[in-house]
Structure 1
Amino acid sequence: MSSSKIAFRPWFNASDQEQTRILVATDFSEPAKNALRYAVQLAEDMNADINLIHVGHVGQQYHDRISEPFAELLSAGKLQEAFPFFESYVSQLLDEFESDIELDLTLSSGPSATGIIQESDDTDTALIIIGAQGVNMFSKQGIGSVALEVLDQAHCPVLAVPIDAKYEPINHMMYATEFSQEDFSIIDQLLEFASQFNAKLSCTHVRDEKAHWEEAELSLFEKKYQDEHSDRMIDFFISTHENVVHGLYEFVTEYKVDLIALLHHHRYANGHSVTKQMSMYTDIPMLVFGTDSMRAESALDAPSAS
């Protein structure tokens, strides 16, 4: 699915009259269960709706993740007959989570990433949540090729929840900024999201060598946002570290960050993706914005540097 086929929609707006919709993708694995647990608690705090989706294909094997009758029906592509088993499966999980939230449930067949993205587009989803193994979560081994496709192609942010992550009310979010044009749009939306929790947003830039242009960009961002947010909900930081990802990790650890936000295709001088590298050092949930989905929005909305 090409990202040019649909205009990017802002993922969160606290003043929006419509209920925020969260799409949780499941393959019935342990990481997916933990992602649903996290999503349920997040949705309860946000008063958001959840749609739980499984997209499978004929012949798919489930390896004892679900009951044998359920697995056989899914593997045979008999989705209508499988749906009551899906309802029972979810009911048992919600009992385990001690939650009475009501979920919308969707069973679909076809290419998994395509089905997840299509469902998110059709339902005006604000956020997709997926489970991850944890350390090195953005490798194919850690998060899976399907999730990597979703990260690349989704028209809304994707929250990757490591298997060991426990939900806590969000008090401190960090955005790894490059002072790029895309950052204005992302920061605006993160501030909307942070306001739901009275959380602080730290926009942090770590460099491996000093560059004077970065100081000028920092001043531009500080002027725009700190004039608008005198309550100090947002701060900007620049630090120098021989390893950029290690520098970010030290910030996350020292300042007790609850949620990390990144632009998926930010790359540093060594050509490596900061998203993939950062995932090797932390089990904190990571909120990932896709570059392609942000480009049109940021070009229209970013203020001029003049």
Structure 2
Amino acid sequence: MKTILIPTDFSAAAANAARYGLFLAQHLQADIQLIHAFKVPAEARAAAQTAWPLNDYEQVKRDCVLELDNLRHQLELETIASVSPRNYISRITGTAELGEVTVMTRNLVDHYRSPLVVMGMSGAGNLQRLLIGSSSRELIDKATFPVLLVPDLPVTKQLKKIAFATDLSKGDIQIIHSLASLARPFNAEILIAHITDDKYDTVARQHQVNEFMSGVTDQANYGQIYYRHIKSMDVDHGLDWLSEHGQIDLLAMVHRPHPFFEKIFKGSHTQRLARHIRIPLLVFPPDAHGVCF
């Protein structure tokens, strides 16, 4: 059985991500594992203790487990309220451990062979933060699995159109094949969005597009895939336009080392991302071949 991992810091943003993860899990016939990584309190570190007292550890863990149980109960109530004869009833479990959220998540992905990690774009103040630029960025930088970032705004629980931003790299064809396994249970369209400026040579682009789409047709085996070229001064503004005017429910892209992605996940550009990404953002690692949702 497939298991979707949902890291949480018990913030409202993380709870919103969990609810969206539950929506996906019910359609993908997957179970949910809520995970929380807690740290040694700052005062214990300041005291330079060689070992954290066992009773303190047990108390903190009990508190975290109680929070996980509360969140699990809330999700189970939503499951009961939304269940229909066609819905899969996802089994929801939780685990809390001392450590870093990135390490814990990667270990559990390996353990469960999870196809997807769902987490919030922002977190809760002084708690373990799930924020672009910190835990989310670190997880994405090191992930060998897809990570879905959910904004803390209310997100419509529907998946009718998915946009995949691509530079037409051949490796993206396998990613689209994986993306089709997510779209299929929803009968969702996949819009392949290629964003370039007006200086892009039209003839050369058309040849590249034809070759790329031929590969997609051969490998993806999904009929609802369409191509659109978006002219924009840069990828940033093109994605801004696409997310606001493209009538899409989810934006997917591949995390490759290049200036655009570095702008998004580092420094002051974080706030600009939050402004124009008001829909879930699905980030694939470049080597995510064979992922099946």
Query: In the alignment, is the contact (CA less than 8 A) between 1:206 and 1:238 conserved in 2?
Result: yes
Matches within 5 A, 1:12-91: 19-59=1-41, 76-78=56-58, 81-82=62-63, 85-86=66-67, 88-91=69-72
Shift of 1:167: 3.7
Matches within 5 A, 1:238-277: 238-265=229-256, 267=258, 273=263
Uncovered stretches (5+) of structure 2, i.e. residues with no partner: 44-52, 81-88, 124-128
Distance 2:273 2:253 in 1: 10
1:94 and 2:75 equivalent?
yes
Instruction: Describe the shift of the 1:279–1:203 C-alpha distance in structure 2 as closer, same or farther (beyond 3 A).
Output: farther
Distance 2:285 2:240 in 1: 21
Aligned to 2:186: 197
Aligned to 2:85: none
1:187 maps to a residue whose letter is I
Query: In the alignment, is the contact (CA less than 8 A) between 2:149 and 2:282 conserved in 1?
Result: yes
Aligned to 1:173: 162
Uncovered stretches (5+) of structure 1, i.e. residues with no partner: 1-18, 62-72, 135-139, 299-306
Shift of 1:39: 0.9
Aligned to 2:146: 157
Aligned to 2:225: 234
Shift of 1:86: 3.9
Shift of 1:168: 1.9
Distance 1:74 1:45 in 2: 42
Q: Deviations over 1:200-240 (max 9, x none)?
A: 00111111221354322201122233467797400112232
* Percent pairwise identity: 26
Aligned to 1:123: 112
Shift of 1:118: 1.0
Query: In the alignment, is the contact (CA less than 8 A) between 1:21 and 1:126 conserved in 2?
Result: yes
Query: In the alignment, is the contact (CA less than 8 A) between 2:176 and 2:216 conserved in 1?
Result: no
Query: In the alignment, is the contact (CA less than 8 A) between 1:23 and 1:120 conserved in 2?
Result: yes
Instruction: Describe the shift of the 1:153–1:74 C-alpha distance in structure 2 as closer, same or farther (beyond 3 A).
Output: farther
Distance 2:220 2:153 in 1: 34
TM-score, structure 1 as length reference? 0.74
Q: Deviations over 1:251-283 (max 9, x none)?
A: 333331000001123636x78546766554121
Distance 2:261 2:182 in 1: 30
Q: Secondary structure at the match of 1:196?
A: helix
Q: Which moved more, 1:230-239 or 1:280-289?
A: 230-239
Distance 1:251 1:80 in 2: 43
Distance 1:231 1:98 in 2: 29
How many correspondences in the alignment?
260
Distance 2:233 2:115 in 1: 36
Q: Secondary structure at the match of 1:76?
A: helix
Q: Deviations over 1:45-79 (max 9, x none)?
A: 22211000001112169xxxxxxxxxxx9993216
TM-score, structure 2 as length reference? 0.77
Aligned to 2:284: 289
Shift of 1:110: 1.3
Q: Secondary structure at the match of 2:276?
A: coil
Instruction: Describe the shift of the 1:82–1:39 C-alpha distance in structure 2 as closer, same or farther (beyond 3 A).
Output: same
CA RMSD, Structure 1 to Structure 2 (Å): 3.1
Shift of 1:101: 4.4
1:261 maps to a residue whose letter is A
Instruction: Describe the shift of the 1:183–1:94 C-alpha distance in structure 2 as closer, same or farther (beyond 3 A).
Output: same
Q: Secondary structure at the match of 1:49?
A: strand
Which ranges of 4 or more aligned residues in structure 1 deviate by more than 6 Å? 227-231
Query: In the alignment, is the contact (CA less than 8 A) between 1:175 and 1:261 conserved in 2?
Result: yes
Shift of 1:244: 2.4
Q: Deviations over 1:122-141 (max 9, x none)?
A: 1111100111139xxxxx99
Distance 2:264 2:193 in 1: 13
Aligned to 1:65: none
Distance 1:266 1:110 in 2: 27
1:223 maps to a residue whose letter is S
Aligned to 1:303: none
Distance 2:285 2:166 in 1: 14
Distance 1:274 1:225 in 2: 27
